[in-house]
């Protein structure tokens, strides 16, 4: 067997410890997982009813074109339905884009640290990877432009960025888009878009009309609370969508995901409520950091990266043994930090109480 050499350099993606495994390992009854930036408030009740009424669709393949969800989302975003592509989570879209454009003769540019899947998929496709360090937690767009060469097919932007929670300012993004050659696809991953509260944040989707080489990725996994159903989407010029579609599995979004996403879009009140509660939760962490003189990046997301100035694994392990699963910054490119998903008020209080004893 001759495997692609680069596959042998990769370890499988490890999204963090599961609740069950931690329960067993430490003989704990209750585990709070604040590690994967899910919505601690669950999902809209409208989603639950939609799922119930769709249960009997189990034996039937889903609508491969996701027509109803497509029309609903297109109307909500005010774009033509042909500008949308759906993925089994936005992870799947990152994979589809990589498969379509990256190969050993191509190069790709991304920030570091950023979301791991851009690099992971680029390695699988054998592309040359150019990683440009963040500057004070933010994308160095000048550096990223400089890193591009004539072989650069894809550049990955993450705004707000995982794991820092910081966002790319509009003027910087526009200047960047003006300079990137039209032969290079710009992927703007906005998985946490709905959590953003910055007044000067922009409508990136409307930019896809002006920049035909821009694709914006979003997901139903975060504020909409559908992480397990795996629904993500991309918005771009129809020519890009047409080129990506053949690489999409025919039934990549199951019928429950489609029905749930459709219902979720209709309940924007739930989204607004979660956004508000998330800000209150973030404030609990900010207050704690101020009290203890801890550094953090101000976040536009539902997670916070806190620098404890000691090995991130130590803080991670301390919390784990007491029933709280978070992410050590060690695996995320910030070795002395820990990334914590904002939970409910009680969950945040519980975790911060334990951290208080630790410090
Ligand atoms: N992009 C970013 C920045 C993320 O943080 C995540 C989830 N951790 C994803 C994409 C993937 O999300 P999903 O596949 O659930 O849509």
CA atoms within 13 A on the CB side of 95: 12
Q: Given a cut of 80, is residue 14 above it in pLDDT?
A: no
Q: What is the mean pLDDT of residues 198-227?
A: 98
According to the model, what pLDDT value does residue 22 have? 87
Beta strand ranges found along 229-297 (DSSP E): 232-236, 295-296
The pTM (predicted TM-score) of the whole model is 0.97
* Per-residue pLDDT tens over the stretch 267-282: 999 999 999 999 999 9
- Mark 110-130 as b/e (b = at least 16 C-beta within 10 Å): bbebbbbbbbbbbbbbbbebb
CA distance 239 to 260: 28
* Per-residue pLDDT tens over the stretch 296-323: 999 999 999 999 999 999 999 999 999 9
The mean predicted confidence, pLDDT, of the chain is 96
User: For residue 325, how far is its CA from the centre of ligand 1 (angstroms)?
Assistant: 18
Query: What percentage of residues in the chain have a pLDDT greater than 70?
Result: 100
Q: Which atom of ligand 1 is nearest to the CA of 92?
A: 14
Residue 189, token pair as written in the block:
């991953």
Residue 212, token pair as written in the block:
């035909």
According to the model, what pLDDT value does residue 16 have? 72
According to the model, what pLDDT value does residue 195 have? 98
Residue 156, token pair as written in the block:
């990955």
According to the model, what pLDDT value does residue 26 have? 87
Tell me if 232 CB under 6 Å of ligand 1: yes
Q: What is the mean pLDDT of residues 110-126?
A: 97
Residue 333, token pair as written in the block:
């490119």
* Per-residue pLDDT tens over the stretch 136-179: 999 999 999 999 999 999 999 999 999 999 999 999 999 999 99
User: For residue 191, how far is its CA from the centre of ligand 1 (angstroms)?
Assistant: 6
Contact between residue 17 and residue 35 where contact means Cβ atoms under 8 Å apart:
yes
Instruction: Give, for ligand 1, the residue of 35, 93, 162, 218 to mutate: max count of ligand atoms closer than 8 Å to Cβ.
Output: 162
Residues 6+ apart with CB under 8 A from 3: none
CA distance 84 to 25: 43
Query: What percentage of residues in the chain have a pLDDT greater than 90?
Result: 92
Instruction: Give, for ligand 1, the residue of 14, 16, 86, 90 to mutate: max count of ligand atoms closer than 8 Å to Cβ.
Output: 90
Tell me if 91 CB under 6 Å of ligand 1: yes
Residue 92, token pair as written in the block:
């799947």
According to the model, what pLDDT value does residue 25 have? 87
Q: What is the mean pLDDT of residues 188-202?
A: 97
**Interface ipTM above 0.90:** yes
Read off φ and ψ for residue 64, nearest 5 degrees.
-60, -25
Tell me if 129 CB under 6 Å of ligand 1: no
Residue 6, token pair as written in the block:
């680069």
Residue 235, token pair as written in the block:
């918005």
pLDDT band at 46 (very low <50, low <70, confident <90, very high): very high
- Give the sign of the dihedral formed by CA 206, CA 88, CA 189, CA 284: positive
Burial (CB count <10 Å: 0-12, 13-18, 19+), residue 25 = exposed
Percentages (nearest 5) of helix, strand, coil residues in the chain: 45, 15, 35
CA atoms within 13 A on the CB side of 204: 31
According to the model, what pLDDT value does residue 3 have? 83
């Amino acid at each position: 067997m001759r495997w692609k050499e680069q596959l042998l350099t990769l370890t499988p993606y490890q999204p963090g410890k599961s609740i069950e495994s931690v329960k067993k390992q430490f003989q704990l009854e209750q585990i709070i997982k604040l590690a994967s930036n899910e919505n601690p408030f669950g999902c809209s009740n409208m989603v639950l009813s939609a799922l119930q009424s769709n249960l009997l669709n189990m034996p039937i393949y889903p609508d491969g074109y996701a027509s109803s969800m497509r029309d609903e989302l297109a109307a909500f975003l005010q774009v033509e339905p042909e500008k949308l592509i759906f993925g089994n989570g936005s992870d799947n879209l990152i994979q589809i884009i990589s498969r379509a454009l990256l190969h050993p003769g191509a190069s790709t540019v991304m920030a570091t640290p950023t979301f791991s899947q851009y690099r992971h998929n680029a390695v699988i496709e054998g592309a040359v990877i150019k990683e440009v360090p963040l500057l004070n937690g933010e994308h160095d767009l000048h550096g990223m432009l400089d890193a591009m060469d004539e072989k650069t097919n894809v550049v990955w932007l993450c705004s707000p960025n995982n794991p820092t929670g910081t966002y790319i300012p509009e003027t910087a993004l526009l200047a960047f888009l003006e300079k990137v050659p039209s032969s290079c696809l710009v992927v703007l991953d906005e998985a946490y878009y709905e959590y953003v509260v910055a007044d000067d944040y922009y409508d990136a989707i409307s930019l896809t009309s002006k920049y035909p080489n821009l694709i914006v990725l979003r997901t139903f996994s975060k504020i909409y609370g559908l992480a397990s159903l795996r629904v993500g989407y991309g918005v771009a010029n129809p020519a890009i969508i047409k080129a990506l579609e053949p690489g999409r599995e025919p039934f990549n979004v199951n019928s429950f995901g489609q029905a749930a996403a459709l219902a979720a879009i209709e309940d924007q009140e739930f989204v607004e409520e979660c956004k508000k509660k998330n800000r209150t939760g973030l404030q609990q962490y900010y207050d704690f950091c101020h009290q203890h003189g801890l550094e953090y990046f101000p976040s536009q997301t539902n997670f916070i990266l806190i620098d404890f100035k000691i090995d991130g694994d130590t803080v991670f392990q301390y919390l784990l043994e007491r029933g709280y699963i978070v992410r050590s910054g060690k695996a995320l490119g910030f070795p002395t930090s820990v990334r914590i998903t904002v939970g409910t008020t009680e969950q945040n209080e519980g975790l911060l109480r334990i951290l208080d004893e630790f410090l």
